Structure 1
């Protein structure tokens, strides 16, 4: 079970990154070129929101079933964790939740805007913050290695 959830979390992360980068680039281009907000832009923002929330759910299941999550903290205490173990047990989940919070706030705020430029700008700001947070806490040595 654990290996299936771990692989799902790892491979789903590729989709999250691709869609999140697409949403950020789309909103930045349209913000700076004063393009109209279209149904396609709404779908990209919504799909990004959905994909990131699914990743969060998979990650939470992994966190509570993984030997690198809660169990590692219980067994070793915070002082007994190596820097990599701390990344997996604390930093990665916390910053991931923070990133998804920014994405969710951006999506919610953009829906309340009435014109195109503020809609694109809101998505650009909040989704970019979410993307940066995600990129800082990916365990690259495990993910690419």
Structure 2
């Protein structure tokens, strides 16, 4: 089960990054050019939210079926923290990705309450960019390439 979930999680991550990058660029361009916020912009923001939440759910399943979780259960946190690889996969990556998804969710929720286009784009640009930066900071790049 672990290899299958890891495969899905790894390849879904490409989709998440692409969609999130598109949403960030779209919101920055919309804000800078004073465009009118329309249905396409709403769909981009919503699709970004949905893909990141699906990735989070896949990641939670992966966390509990991974061999790293077994190490945590057997050896405890004292053995995990000194090891950079274990710390990345057990603590840093999951925590930072949860923070990124929370930022994206907050941005999406806050933008809906704005009444005009410019504040909508600004809210999305700020929170989605922060979410993207947090994600990029803790992706295990060595496992990707």
What's the TM-score, normalizing by structure 1? 0.96
Shift of 1:37: 0.3
Deviations 1:29-74 (A, max 9, x none): 1111111101000000000000000000000000011012x32211
| Residues 1:78 and 2:77 aligned together | yes
Detail structure 1 runs of 4+ shifted over 3 Å in the superposition. none
Distance (Å, rounded) in 2 between the aligned partners of 1:128 and 1:72: 34
Report the 3-state secondary structure (helix = DSSP H, G, I; strand = E; otherwise coil) of the residue aligned with 1:37.
coil
How many residues align structurally?
143
**Mapping of 1:35-114 within 5 angstroms?**
35-68=35-68, 70-81=69-80, 82-114=83-115
What residue ranges of structure 1 are gaps of 5+ in the alignment? none
Q: Structure 1 CA distance, aligned partners of 2:22 and 2:143?
A: 24
Q: Is the CA contact (8 Å cut-off) linking 1:72 and 1:89 kept in structure 2?
A: no
Q: Is the 8 A contact 1:31 1:120 kept in 2?
A: yes
1:76 CA displacement: 2.1
Q: Secondary structure at the match of 1:45?
A: helix
CA distance in 2, matches of 1:112, 1:75: 47
Q: Structure 2 length normalisation: TM-score?
A: 0.96
RMSD: 0.7
* Separation in structure 1 between the aligned mates of residue 134 and residue 59 of structure 2, nearest angstrom: 16
